[in-house]
Amino acid sequence: MKMTLPASHKVAMPNTPFGRFFSLFLDNRIRDEMVTNQNKDALCEILRKYSIEEDAFKVGEGENATYVKFKPKHVALTFGLPLRGKKVSELFRKFKFDPDQSSFLVNNNLQKCGEISKETMINRINILMNEEGSHSNFCRMVVLFMCATIFFPNSNYSIGKSFAAHLESLETMKSIGWTDLIYDALMKKIRNRKENWTPFSVTGCLIPLLKVDDIEGIVDVDELVLDDSKNVVDPTPLKNVRDNLHYNYLEKEEQTRLLKFFSLANTQTNAYEDDTCVVKRKALEDLMFDNFTDAEVINFYSKWLKKIEDIKCIYVSAYAWTHLKAGQHRSKEGLLDKVLKNEFTNDVKFVFFPINSSKSAFPHEGHHWSLLVLNGKTKKFQHYNSMRGRKGVDKYF
């Protein structure tokens, strides 16, 4: 492919967020058999090691077992992608997609189709490959093909035409946080996996998981995958903490600490990180300014409670409820029993399940967190939801 591309195409490809990944194909350094044949068993084994409670992959057995947190930086390192970029929800918050207004779809005569098939993408790539002046269109079509077959695949490797909004221009492509987008799609499939799955029914983007033995040795992934001169969206400073409604009610020492933290931090850096939990500083900004609380903030708080509380409790990962409610198990009771059987002993007083309530029969509730508690003594559940009125002793919960 490298020898048949016009010079304009070869120059344009490195100027996309996928420039380093493109070079693997241009230099013939990646082969289908690297994933589809040789490593299939390894991928299955790694996926089976995923722990819902820890939201991490279990390495080793017995006393030597440790949990390894798979993080966005590992996706960035593997595919050579920028770590920084805007979330799709932020970038297209007020955007209404119109296929007839998409230059990318119109130029490729795809605005009338439902989904864009793999065959259609291959056909367009072959045509654009040899057209002078089509370098921008060619790069975007190759990225669309990669998204359909590698990063966000379905069973027939087609992709909805609305995805073209991500590729409307090279500048739009550069502004998107592809690393987080790919990571979130991968982990969502893993957390919601069915009993009978293969690595490719989970997602095609499993290459980073083959690095499970190496990911703890990464010192500074930014130095390895980022070039600050291009392909990077500047990090956004956090909001002025003095604008927070609660700021004036804090102690002087607490105000000083917050001022220092918010003045030095930006939306791309981490506030806390260990093997099983990564809290981005943006998540703390959301917490301070009453936006939706990130699951990792709840996981961090659970870890802290587990450390300081005298009574024995089990703190289930904030991601577990999403997996449980996915409806992919014949028996939710059986799954719950399986999750707890190795942890639940007679001395456990409570089991805490954070619940991410995205839908509700009560429209005033909206998207919020609540808490399901299993009493270890009575073996009964109690649901604490601040968005619903209660009576008697529970009226404040």
Coil vs helix vs strand at 315? strand
- Give the mean model confidence (pLDDT) for residues 378-388: 81
Model pLDDT, residue 96:
54
Higher pLDDT, 34 or 22: 22
CA 143, CA 358: separation in Å to the nearest integer? 31
- Give the mean model confidence (pLDDT) for residues 371-383: 88
| Strand 56-59 versus strand 66-68 pairing type | antiparallel
299-314 pLDDT per residue, tens: 888 888 888 888 888 8
- pTM, entire model: 0.51
Higher pLDDT, 111 or 198: 111
From the CB of residue 337, how many other CB atoms can be counted at a distance below 10 Å? 11
Residues in the chain: 397
185-227 pLDDT per residue, tens: 888 777 776 555 555 555 545 444 444 333 333 333 333 333 3
Residue 216: DSSP 8-state = G
| Strand 381-384 versus strand 270-273 pairing type | unpaired
Q: Are 238 and 282 in contact (CB under 8 A)?
A: yes
Higher pLDDT, 275 or 19: 19
Residues 6 or more apart whose Cβ sits within 8 Å of residue 85: 17, 174, 175, 176, 177, 178, 179, 180, 233
116-161 pLDDT per residue, tens: 999 999 999 999 988 878 888 899 899 999 888 888 887 788 888 8
Helix residue ranges per DSSP H, the chain: 7-12, 19-26, 33-36, 40-48, 72-79, 88-91, 103-107, 118-128, 135-146, 170-175, 178-191, 199-202, 221-225, 252-264, 281-288, 295-308, 320-324, 332-340
Task: List the domains of the chain with CATH numbers.
Answer: 7-225 (no CATH), 235-291 (no CATH), 301-397 (3.40.395.10)
% of the chain beyond a pLDDT of 70: 69
**Is residue 104 predicted with pLDDT exceeding 80?**
yes
CA 70, CA 187: separation in Å to the nearest integer? 9
Model pLDDT, residue 68:
82
% of the chain beyond a pLDDT of 90: 3
- Give the mean model confidence (pLDDT) for residues 267-294: 78
**Which of 84, 76, 91 lies closest to 230, judged by CA?**
84
